[in-house]
């Protein structure tokens, strides 16, 4: 009981700070960075020299024991997390921290640690960035996720109601419950939002897309179907809370808490290298993510100085690789593949999967002969423009899968 009260208070403080006080500025960020560096120097064996080498999931897992500051070994943390998962008891703690499992993209199971203070900061910040201006209380938030968390129950109160909807369950089974709940804020991956927009009569005040790439065309369908002017986004992963949409509809990096370096891919696209300046149980420093972000060229009128993003384009390892006409590799950004399909109004749902350099699977609904010929033509044109050997295309019927993240552009080619 007392713990729940402390947690609520912490969330409230984080909320007030993030909503009304903390604004990104370079000098404050540098101070935070110095403070974090000095803490890690003293408390993390791995960082005791004060150097922060480039980090990724594999390195983080390999050096887990010496990186974390709460004295846990990977074996202990893993077996504890698996045990929590099996018994579905997610509120147990080890050395004072919550231990979670993360599904690595490479198939390896990872483990992550979050302290109570870090969780409260996260929850308070998310609420501060998402609760609409002008109406703070009385919201009903419908949350579509893969696993529930007692955190939402902690946040739940007289002022805010949370309702969790399990994404593993078929969406049609949720529609009635959703209509009964009448959420004012709807949070879900775009694939679920599309279905809700199509099949329900909901009129939420705010719609927030999470966990999957939000494509421009899908965003229009979602906002039309649900009667909102903007589909907001929250961009986060186990490595932290990285960006959220402001009231003007611009996606801003969470530079109040994260220091983000850019590995440029072209003039506007970059891979973020993140240092979370608040995470201490399991520090995230100089961590290279697997995402391609695109900078927005105009500044945002909201006054937030944190970097504005045009979009999250996709995962870096979903870049397509083809054989160049003059040898070598030619890498193609997901957006260019997307464009080869989006000219057609017939195609509503689609996926493009690259299994080898010579072949693409195009899965789509409403594939007429004309559409197939057009897609083939667009791909051939791209191949000519970018000087790679045009792949063969296998056209297949698009099938909806409920049980995994929707990736419309997906590559499995060895890099
Ligand atoms: Zn803004």
Distance 196 CA to ligand 1 centre (A): 27
Number of domains within the chain: 2
Distance 89 CA to ligand 1 centre (A): 39
| Residue 324 within any structural domain of the chain | yes
Q: Say which CATH number the domain at 344 has.
A: 3.30.300
| Residue 175 within any structural domain of the chain | no
Mean pLDDT confidence for 281-298 = 96
Look at residues 76, 101, 116 and tell me which one is the last residue of a structural domain.
116
Q: Is 211 exposed, middle or buried (0-12, 13-18, 19+ CB in 10 A)?
A: buried
pLDDT value at 23 more than 60: yes
Distance 252 CA to ligand 1 centre (A): 6
Mean pLDDT confidence for 132-148 = 85
Residues paired with residue 331 on neighbouring β-strands, in sequence order: 321
- What CA–CA distance (Å, rounded) separates 402 from 198? 16
Distance 129 CA to ligand 1 centre (A): 11
| Residue 53 within any structural domain of the chain | yes
Enumerate residues 6+ apart whose C-beta is below 8 A from 152: 143, 162, 164
* Beta carbons of 67 and 46 less than 8 angstroms apart: yes
Distance 244 CA to ligand 1 centre (A): 9
- What CA–CA distance (Å, rounded) separates 314 from 312? 6
Distance 354 CA to ligand 1 centre (A): 36
pLDDT for res 104: 55
Residues above pLDDT 70, as percent of the chain: 96
Distance 16 CA to ligand 1 centre (A): 19
Look at residues 96, 116, 136 and tell me which one is the last residue of a structural domain.
116
Q: Is residue 137 very low, low, confident or very high in pLDDT (cuts 50, 70, 90)? A: confident
| Residue 287 within any structural domain of the chain | no
Enumerate residues 6+ apart whose C-beta is below 8 A from 171: 192, 195, 196, 402
Distance 298 CA to ligand 1 centre (A): 10
Distance 306 CA to ligand 1 centre (A): 8
For residue 411, how many C-alpha atoms fall within 13 Å in the half-sphere facing its CB? 21
Distance 255 CA to ligand 1 centre (A): 13
Distance 311 CA to ligand 1 centre (A): 13
- What CA–CA distance (Å, rounded) separates 165 from 145? 7
Helix (H) or strand (E) holding 407: none
| Residue 283 within any structural domain of the chain | no
Distance 187 CA to ligand 1 centre (A): 20
Distance 249 CA to ligand 1 centre (A): 7
- What CA–CA distance (Å, rounded) separates 94 from 127? 27
Q: Is residue 242 very low, low, confident or very high in pLDDT (cuts 50, 70, 90)? A: very high
Distance 303 CA to ligand 1 centre (A): 6
**Where is pLDDT greater, at 5 or 378?**
378
Look at residues 116, 149, 167 and tell me which one is the last residue of a structural domain.
116
pLDDT for res 148: 64
pLDDT for res 155: 72
Distance 171 CA to ligand 1 centre (A): 33
| Residue 135 within any structural domain of the chain | no
The alpha helices in 131-163, defined as continuous H runs, are 150-155
Distance 281 CA to ligand 1 centre (A): 31
pLDDT value at 222 more than 90: yes
Distance 144 CA to ligand 1 centre (A): 25
Q: 391: which DSSP letter?
A: P
Q: Which of 187, 209, 279 is nearest to 239 (CA)?
A: 279
Instruction: Provide the mean pLDDT of the chain.
Output: 91
Distance 19 CA to ligand 1 centre (A): 14
Distance 287 CA to ligand 1 centre (A): 25
Q: Is residue 172 very low, low, confident or very high in pLDDT (cuts 50, 70, 90)? A: confident
Q: Which of 61, 174, 68, 45 is nearest to 108 (CA)?
A: 61
Sequence length of the chain is: 415
Q: Lowest mean pLDDT of 99-113, 127-141, 152-166, 348-362, name the range.
A: 99-113
| Residue 34 within any structural domain of the chain | yes
Mean pLDDT confidence for 174-189 = 95
Distance 154 CA to ligand 1 centre (A): 29
Read off the pLDDT of residues 342-372 as tens digits, 9 standing for 90 and up.
887 888 889 999 999 999 999 998 889 999 9
Q: Is residue 377 very low, low, confident or very high in pLDDT (cuts 50, 70, 90)? A: very high
pLDDT for res 304: 93
State pTM to two decimals: 0.91
pLDDT value at 105 more than 60: no
pLDDT value at 411 more than 80: yes
Distance 167 CA to ligand 1 centre (A): 30
Q: Which of 116, 87, 159, 157 is nearest to 7 (CA)?
A: 116
For residue 338, how many C-alpha atoms fall within 13 Å in the half-sphere facing its CB? 16
Read off the pLDDT of residues 68-86 as tens digits, 9 standing for 90 and up.
999 999 999 999 988 988 8
Distance 262 CA to ligand 1 centre (A): 20
pLDDT for res 259: 97
Q: What phi and psi values does residue 321 have, to the nearest 5 degrees?
A: -120, 125
- Domain span holding position 375: 319-411
Cα 291 to chain centroid distance, Å, stands at: 9
Distance 250 CA to ligand 1 centre (A): 5
DSSP strands (E only) in 120-246: 139-145, 160-166, 185-188, 206-209, 231-237, 240-245
Distance 247 CA to ligand 1 centre (A): 6
Distance 228 CA to ligand 1 centre (A): 18
Mean pLDDT confidence for 376-396 = 96
Instruction: Annotate 43-111 with DSSP letters as a single string.
Output: H-STTTTS----B-HHHHHHTHHHH-SS---HHHHHHHHHHHHHHT-TT--BTTEEEEEEE-TTS-EEE
pLDDT for res 343: 81
Distances (CA, A) of 157 to 97, 138, 151: 24, 9, 12
| Residue 46 within any structural domain of the chain | yes
């Amino acid at each position: 009981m007392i713990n729940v009260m402390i947690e609520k208070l912490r969330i409230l403080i984080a909320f007030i700070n993030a909503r009304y006080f903390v604004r990104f500025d370079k000098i404050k960020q540098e101070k935070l960075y110095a403070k974090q560096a000095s803490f890690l120097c003293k408390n993390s064996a791995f960082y005791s020299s004060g150097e922060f080498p480039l980090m990724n999931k594999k390195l983080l897992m390999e050096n887990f024991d010496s990186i974390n500051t709460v004295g846990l070994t990977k074996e202990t943390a893993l077996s504890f997390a698996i045990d929590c998962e099996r018994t579905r008891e997610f509120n147990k703690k080890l050395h004072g921290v919550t231990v979670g499992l993360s599904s690595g993209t490479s198939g390896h199971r990872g483990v992550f640690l979050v302290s109570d203070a870090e969780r409260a900061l996260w929850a308070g910040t998310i609420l501060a960035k998402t609760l609409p201006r002008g109406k703070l209380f009385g919201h009903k938030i419908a949350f579509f996720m893969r696993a529930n968390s007692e955190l939402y129950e902690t946040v739940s109160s007289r002022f805010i109601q949370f309702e969790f909807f399990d994404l593993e369950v078929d969406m049609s089974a949720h529609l009635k419950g959703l209509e009964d709940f009448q959420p004012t804020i709807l949070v879900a991956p775009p694939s679920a939002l599309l279905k809700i927009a199509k099949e329900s009569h909901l009129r939420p005040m705010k719609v927030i897309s999470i966990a999957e790439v939000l494509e421009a065309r899908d965003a229009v369908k979602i906002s039309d179907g649900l009667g909102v002017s903007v589909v907001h986004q929250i961009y986060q992963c186990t490595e932290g809370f990285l960006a959220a949409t402001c009231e003007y509809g611009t996606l801003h990096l969470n530079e109040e808490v994260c220091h983000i370096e850019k590995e440029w891919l072209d003039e506007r696209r970059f891979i973020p290298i993140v240092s979370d300046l608040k995470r201490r149980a399991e520090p995230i420093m100089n961590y290279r993510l697997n995402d391609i972000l695109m900078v927005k060229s105009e500044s945002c009128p909201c006054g937030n100085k944190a970097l504005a993003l045009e979009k999250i384009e996709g995962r870096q390892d979903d870049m397509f690789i083809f054989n160049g006409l003059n040898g070598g590799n030619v890498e193609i950004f997901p957006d260019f593949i997307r464009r080869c399909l989006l000219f057609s109004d017939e195609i509503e749902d689609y996926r493009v999967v690259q299994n080898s350099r010579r072949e693409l699977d195009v899965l789509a609904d409403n594939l007429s002969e004309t559409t197939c010929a057009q897609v083939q033509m667009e791909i051939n044109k791209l191949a000519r423009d970018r000087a790679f050997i045009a792949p063969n295309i296998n056209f297949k019927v698009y099938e909806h899968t409920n049980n995994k993240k929707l990736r419309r552009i997906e590559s499995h080619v060895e890099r």
